[in-house]
Homo-oligomer: A and B are copies of this chain.
């Protein structure tokens, strides 16, 4: 078992979490059993509008919020971990605003508990699946969210996953960790994979993030980009980075998923999940792909049929895969078949996980909350 413990140690399984950043908020102190509210800011003046904040915020965001202490009664769960539902239900009554995370379910139970004062919710998230939007609309509650600030983070990760899928990153690390390096006799094709130069990159979905990824891929010497949107064969309208007009390589709409699969050396899944895109990348799709092509998913898991991907890797119909998302995440156990594929790299939905992005999301959430309370324009507001 010694070897397992060495592996475990390398793989970050240590009981001690070394992941806290120096710039991270101080972890909350252990609660005394006598005072379950030790984590929360004590309200000081009941006449000011009350806002509920369900998490400790990052530096700058916390500072902007704290500056409003004189005008607002701020009730905050001061921890990096989610607040208990009971704490939220206990504190929400008569609140005017709520800054919540995607781990907080905003449903009629909570809205009923809040009462008629609640006029604005600022969600620290891109998605709003955790929020009952029709119920907000019925009650005239505004909803802010933070969709735009993660483009860089996800585009960077897209490039990382493409390179890891091509250059066998997961497999390479695995061999070294297992102590196999000393026994790997050099030969000309040892651990080789396809390179990016001269390749065609196909995008399923061609929004801001996909275009930002393409901006980054151009100087790697790619030859051509193709994309498929809900309007096959039509040029996209939004040219977020003046790519379509300035790039020196062709950037063309595909007529079909089949065409994109057949022509691409790299397939990037960057589309929304709809009934049309669910399992768009299927056995049929993989069969049309090139044997040295890779597929990367930075959008939503169910766009790729996982069983079909496992089969395609097993049968070497494609070269490799890089996934930030997967069907049924986060419930991926250690015996999941995808984890047995050495040419597939799977990371735990860390697309937006840069310090800068999360700081910006926090700051925008606070701005949305304050704008909602004062009736001003939010940085980003959901049309309900």
CB-CB contacts below 8 Å: A203-232 with B: 215-216, 218-221
- Return the chain B residue nearest A163 by Cβ: B160
CB pair B195 A357 closer than 8 Å:
yes
Q: How many copies does the complex hold?
A: 2
Is A335 engaged at the interface, CB distance under 8 Å to the other chain? yes
How near does chain B come to A161, taking the closest CB pair, in angstroms? 9
CB pair B186 A101 closer than 8 Å:
yes
Distance, CA A3 to CA B11, complexed state (A): 13
How near does chain B come to A139, taking the closest CB pair, in angstroms? 27
Is A46 engaged at the interface, CB distance under 8 Å to the other chain? no
CB pair B218 A8 closer than 8 Å:
no
CB pair B152 A195 closer than 8 Å:
yes
A334 contact set on B, CB distance < 8 A: 3, 6-7, 177-179
Q: Which of B55, B187, B330 contacts A188 (CB 8 A)?
A: B55
A198 contact set on B, CB distance < 8 A: 356
CB pair B167 A353 closer than 8 Å:
yes
Residue with the highest number of chain B CB atoms closer than 10 Å, among A12, A19, A186, A191: A12
Distance, CA A22 to CA B362, complexed state (A): 49
A57 contact set on B, CB distance < 8 A: 188
- In the complex where A195-B357, A340-B9 touch, is A157 in contact with B164 (Cβ < 8 A)? no
Q: Which of B24, B179, B316 contacts A333 (CB 8 A)?
A: B179
- In the complex where A124-B188, A187-B55, A339-B6 touch, is A170 in contact with B167 (Cβ < 8 A)? no
Q: Which of B3, B184, B195, B345 contacts A173 (CB 8 A)?
A: B345
Distance, CA A173 to CA B189, complexed state (A): 25
Is A240 engaged at the interface, CB distance under 8 Å to the other chain? no
A291 contact set on B, CB distance < 8 A: 22
Distance, CA A152 to CA B199, complexed state (A): 13
CB pair B12 A174 closer than 8 Å:
yes
Distance, CA A167 to CA B24, complexed state (A): 16
Number of interface residues of A (CB under 8 A): 104
Contact with B along A338-361 (1 / 0, CB 8 A): 011111011110100111111001
How near does chain B come to A222, taking the closest CB pair, in angstroms? 11
Distance, CA A315 to CA B336, complexed state (A): 35
Residue with the highest number of chain B CB atoms closer than 10 Å, among A8, A172, A341: A172
7 tightest CB-CB pairs across the interface, nearest first? Answer: A11-B174, A179-B334, A160-B163, A195-B354, A12-B342, A172-B347, A80-B187
Residues of A within 8 A of B (CB): 1, 3-4, 6-14, 18-25, 55, 57-58, 80-82, 101-103, 124, 152-153, 156-157, 159-160, 163-164, 166-182, 184-198, 215-216, 218-221, 291-292, 316, 329-335, 339-343, 345-348, 350, 353-358, 361-362
21 contacts between A and B (CB under 8 A): A1-B1, A3-B334, A11-B178, A13-B178, A20-B189, A80-B187, A80-B189, A81-B185, A82-B186, A159-B220, A160-B160, A163-B163, A173-B345, A178-B334, A179-B333, A181-B332, A182-B330, A184-B330, A188-B362, A197-B356, A198-B356
